[in-house]
Amino acid sequence: MSMKFDLKQFINPVFVETGTFHGGGVKAALNAGFDKILTLEVFAPLVEENSVRFEKEIEHKKVQIIHGDSGFVLKPTIQEVSSNITFWLDAHIQSMNGGGEGSERCPIVAELEQILATRKEKKDIILIDDMRLIENRSAGWSVNLNEMYRLIWEINPSYVLKRIDGHIPYDVLCCIPGDYAL
Ligand SMILES: C[S@@+](CC[C@H](N)C(=O)[O-])C[C@H]1O[C@@H](n2cnc3c(N)ncnc32)[C@H](O)[C@@H]1O
């Protein structure tokens, strides 16, 4: 949720976010200078809230809010995108905290499967938030970590992985194409 890093270092033409919540990621992406922002949210009241918040940007086709479960709607959202994407994968259960939940508490594996099906060996950047909870069995998110990393490497074997600060230190996993200049 918290982007305690400079998103500009991960710039690409398109930013794709799973889990819009109150629009903090959209705002950060606008400030960083992405040309186009696609954000997916499962909880209808948040889709409505952000449709009002970003009314002007939506009208100018800079921001698009997609209502749906990212475990299913990511693939149709990204398959027509021809330019490189920076993914901010941040969808997870938030129903105790003013958000919603989809068919899984944390749909990261289903999201990566859809990225693999549509974006194999493209030079996309993938940022995965909340590693403290993804890796913590007692959080009950039931993420299959082996499968998560297998999918990452299959999407792009050149990925260099590094951890940067999010909500807590090293909470964001960055997957950067080998030849991406940082
Ligand atoms: C941590 S918040 C996202 C914060 C936001 N990305 C930011 O940077 O400010 C998680 C959001 O994911 C949403 N969510 C939960 N499961 C989802 C799913 N399967 N598909 C899409 N959105 C989901 C929740 O309703 C909540 O708004």
Residue of 182 and 174 predicted with greater confidence: 174
DSSP 148: H
What confidence tens digit (pLDDT) does each residue in 53-66 have? 999 999 999 999 99
CB-ligand 1 contact for 114 (6 Å cutoff): no
The response to whether residue 24 sits with its C-beta less than 6 Å from ligand 1 reads yes
pLDDT in tens, 116-167: 999 998 999 999 999 999 999 888 899 999 999 999 999 999 999 999 999 8
How many C-beta atoms surround the C-beta of residue 52 within 10 A?
9
- The encoded tokens of residue 155 equal 């999407």
Instruction: Write down all domains in the chain, each with its CATH number in brackets.
Output: 7-176 (3.40.50.150)
- Please state the atom number of ligand 1 nearest to the C-alpha of residue 19: 12
**Cβ of 166 below 6 Å from ligand 1:** no
Instruction: Please report the atom of ligand 1 found closest to the CA of residue 100.
Output: 25
> Which tokens belong to 178?
């080998």
Residue 104 is encoded by which pair of tokens? Answer: 């899984």
Of all protein residues, whose CA lies closest to atom 8 belonging to ligand 1?
25
Q: Which atom of ligand 1 is nearest to the CA of 24?
A: 9
Q: Is the pTM of this model over 0.85?
A: yes
